[in-house]
């Protein structure tokens, strides 16, 4: 008789025969099989009429679900495509297109033990709330200090990866939210170390710059349904306008910026270093450990950027803008934590960063959602997938400009209110982009831009 059981994220098979999926493990004297092949091994044994004893699954008890989700037509289509692909595959839909609801509907159809894997702790809370609202069942959570496994459980990618040895045989269905994360070398092991035969991936950005999304079909299934922003815009999503406001540094700030940046640039020039990509930059950081002058140059650059970022001029501009939009729901974004706290203190508005205590973060977001708080200032934590509905104005305070993708992502957090278009404003210290051009030319360019000077 063949014995099959789960061993720390893999399957072990003991018996007279091997399987096409197994590999002989001399360390333990058994065949070892990737957990993701669980279903394949079972079908092989069944088809070959080999008697076996299966002790793999250790599933949490089932709980009754009540599904109150009504799908929109395109959501229905997405779900049916997925069902026809033997309940495996990736759905590519833009943010706010209601991916969550498709997954919840799938859970209610399968009625199996389900793990939902998400990138951030905020998303754990959000999914749990949705599970409660739509399926009338309490969801367990793994991550952020919590560790309860229930029929429907939500986990971060980190926890699902780290605890694969313990969780791998507890679910029959896995939903990967923001599934593009799954293709990273470590996270892909989540797909490999869990037995779940049913899999669903959700994302708005299927392709990765490192091409690793090519791995997703074997891990989750093929992309079975794709709809893009343009197809949905206006109908289901709220459009927004985007504008850039250039800010001039104060003379003192400008002087500091120029002199510090000159230190950095002259070092790069002297050494013939070109920083084009993130990788170049990573390599440069490595050099700063060895080379004292590189380190000094790097610190000078950081000082310059800090000046540009925390410019008084920019904060004054923000004050004016906040005055203009006094009664609107407002989100302020900046990538830098220090600046988040500066703004929070200056305007006495709530801040949300990775350092914000969990309860307080929850309370702030809840109050923002209900309308009790009108404005929030935040760093990256909200920029992926978290629903912060009904903000109609967004401000981005960056150093020298943000990437197009980043801006788009933030833009999708905005909603139009009472027919009025949402507005996203980025504030950039324009003059700091290049130090080599002359001051005169710079002045000219600044006035060409929105000509916004500090008071």
Partner 1 sequence: MLPSELLVVWKRKGVIWPRYARLSSDNLEIASGLIEVYKQHIGEKKRVLKEFVGELEDRGHDYRFVRGLSFLLDRNSVFKCNDRVNPVDLRRKTFQATEKFGLPTKPEQRSQIIEKIASELKITPEMVEEFFYADLDSESILEKFDPLSPQELLEKYNLSLTQTLLFDSTELNFTTAGNWQKIFYTVKKLGLIYEAYKDDGFWVKIDGPASLFKLTRRYGTAIAKLLPFIVANPEWTVEAKILWKYTNEICDFKIESWKHHAVLRSYLPPISYDSIVEENFAARFEALESGWRLRREPEPVLAGKQVIIPDFSLEREGIKVYMEIVGFWTMEYLLRKIEKLKKIDVNMFVAVNETLACEKLANLEKHARLNIIYYRDRIPLAPILRYLKGAFQGIQAEQAGFLKNLPVIFTEPFVKFEEFAARIGVSVDAVRAALTEKTPPGYILLPNGLVKKDKLEQIGKKVEEQINRSGRLPLSESIKIAETEGVEDAASAIEALGYRIVWHGISTEKAEVIKPKNKGN
- Does residue number 345 form part of the binding site for partner 1 (CB under 8 A)? yes
Contact 43, 201 (CB under 8 A): no
Q: Using CB under 8 A, which residues numbered 57 to 116 contact partner 1? A: none
Phi, psi of 95 (to 5 degrees): -55, 145
Token pair belonging to 213 = 């999304």
The yes or no reply on residue 193 touching partner 1 (CB under 8 A) is yes
Asked if 288 interacts with partner 1 (CB under 8 A), we say yes
Roughly how many angstroms between the first and final C-alpha of the chain, as a whole number? 84
Name which of 77 and 296 has its Cβ closer to partner 1: 296
For the CA atoms of 402, 407, 413, 419, the dihedral, rounded to the nearest 10 degrees, stands at: 130
Residue 362 lies near partner 1 (rule: CB under 8 A): no
Q: Of 4-43, which residues contact partner 1 (CB under 8 A)?
A: 7-10, 23, 25-29, 32, 34
| Least Cβ distance, residue 134 to partner 1 (angstroms) | 30
Q: Which of 14, 208, 236, 374 binds partner 1 (CB under 8 A)?
A: 374
Binding partner 1 (rule: CB under 8 A), the pick from 80, 136, 228, 355 is 355
Q: Is 346 in the site for partner 1 (CB under 8 A)?
A: yes
CA-nearest of 63, 150, 153 to 116 is 153
Name the minimum Å distance from CB 106 to partner 1: 28
Judge whether 167 and 155 are in contact, CB under 8 Å.
Answer: yes
**Given the structure tokens 């994302």, which residue do they identify?**
203
Packing angle, helices 251-271 and 292-309, rounded to 10: 150
DSSP letter, residue 288: H
Chain-centre distance for alpha carbon 204: 10
State the Cα–Cα distance between residues 49 and 331, nearest whole angstrom: 62
For residues 256 and 316, which CB has a smaller minimum distance to partner 1 in the complex? 316
**Residues contacting 57, CB < 8 A, separation 6+:** 6, 169, 170, 172, 195
Q: How many residues interact with partner 1 (rule CB under 8 A)?
A: 50
Stretch that binds partner 1, among 39-47, 206-214, 319-327, 418-426 (CB under 8 A): 319-327
323 lies in the site for partner 1, by CB under 8 A = yes
Q: Does 363 bind partner 1 (CB under 8 A)?
A: yes
Q: Which residue number, 206 or 373, has a Cβ lying nearer to partner 1?
A: 373
Task: Indicate if the alpha-carbon torsion angle 292, 298, 304, 310 is positive or negative.
Answer: negative
The answer to the question of residue 215 lying near partner 1 (CB under 8 A) is: no
Hey, which residues between 157 and 176 contact partner 1 (CB under 8 A)?
A: 165
Binding footprint of partner 1 on the chain (CB under 8 A): 7-10, 23, 25-29, 32, 34, 165, 186, 189, 192-193, 282-283, 286, 288-290, 292, 295-296, 299, 319-320, 322-323, 326, 341, 344-350, 355, 357, 359-360, 363-364, 372-375
């Amino acid at each position: 008789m063949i014995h099959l059981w789960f061993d720390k994220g893999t399957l072990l098979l003991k018996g007279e025969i091997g399987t096409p999926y197994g590999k002989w493990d001399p360390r333990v004297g058994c065949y070892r099989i990737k957990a993701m092949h669980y279903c394949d091994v079972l079908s092989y044994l069944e088809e070959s009429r080999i008697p076996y004893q299966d002790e793999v699954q250790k599933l949490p008890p089932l709980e009754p679900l009540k599904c109150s989700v009504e799908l929109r037509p395109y959501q229905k289509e997405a779900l049916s495509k997925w069902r026809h692909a033997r309940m495996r595959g990736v759905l590519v839909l833009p943010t706010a297109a209601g991916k969550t609801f498709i997954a919840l509907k799938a859970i209610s159809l399968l009625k199996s033990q389900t793990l939902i894997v998400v990138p951030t702790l905020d998303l754990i809370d959000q999914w749990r709330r949705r599970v409660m609202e739509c399926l009338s069942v309490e969801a367990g959570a793994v991550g952020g200090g919590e560790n309860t496994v229930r029929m429907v459980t939500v986990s971060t990618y980190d926890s699902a990866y780290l605890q694969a040895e313990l969780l791998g045989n507890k679910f029959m269905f896995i939903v990967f939210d923001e599934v593009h994360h799954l293709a990273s070398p470590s996270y892909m092991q989540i797909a490999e170390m869990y037995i779940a035969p049913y899999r669903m991936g959700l994302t708005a950005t299927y392709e990765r710059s490192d091409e690793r999304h090519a791995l997703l079909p074997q891990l989750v299934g093929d992309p079975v349904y794709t709809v893009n922003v343009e197809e949905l815009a206006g109908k289901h999503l709220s459009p927004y306008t985007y504008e850039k406001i250039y800010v001039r540094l104060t003379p003192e700030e400008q002087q500091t910026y120029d002199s510090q940046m000159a230190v950095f640039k002259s070092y790069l020039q002297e050494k013939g270093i070109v920083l084009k990509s993130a990788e170049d930059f990573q390599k440069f950081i490595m050099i700063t450990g060895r080379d004292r002058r590189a380190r000094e140059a790097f610190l000078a650059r950081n000082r310059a950027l800090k000046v540009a970022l925390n410019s008084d001029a920019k904060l004054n501009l923000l004050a004016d803008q906040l005055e203009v939009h006094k009664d609107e729901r407002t989100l302020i974004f900046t990538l830098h934590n220090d600046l988040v706290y500066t703004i929070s203190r200056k305007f006495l508005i709530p801040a949300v960063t990775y350092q914000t205590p969990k309860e307080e973060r929850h309370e702030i977001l809840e109050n923002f959602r209900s309308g009790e708080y009108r404005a929030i200032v935040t760093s990256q934590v909200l920029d992926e997938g978290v629903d912060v509905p009904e903000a109609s104005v967004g401000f981005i305070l960056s150093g020298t400009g943000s990437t197009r993708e980043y801006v788009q992502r933030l833009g999708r957090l905005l909603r139009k209110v009472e027919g009025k278009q949402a507005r996203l404003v980025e504030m950039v210290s324009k003059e700091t982009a290049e130090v080599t051009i002359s001051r005169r030319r710079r002045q000219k360019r600044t006035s060409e831009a929105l000509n916004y000077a500090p008071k």
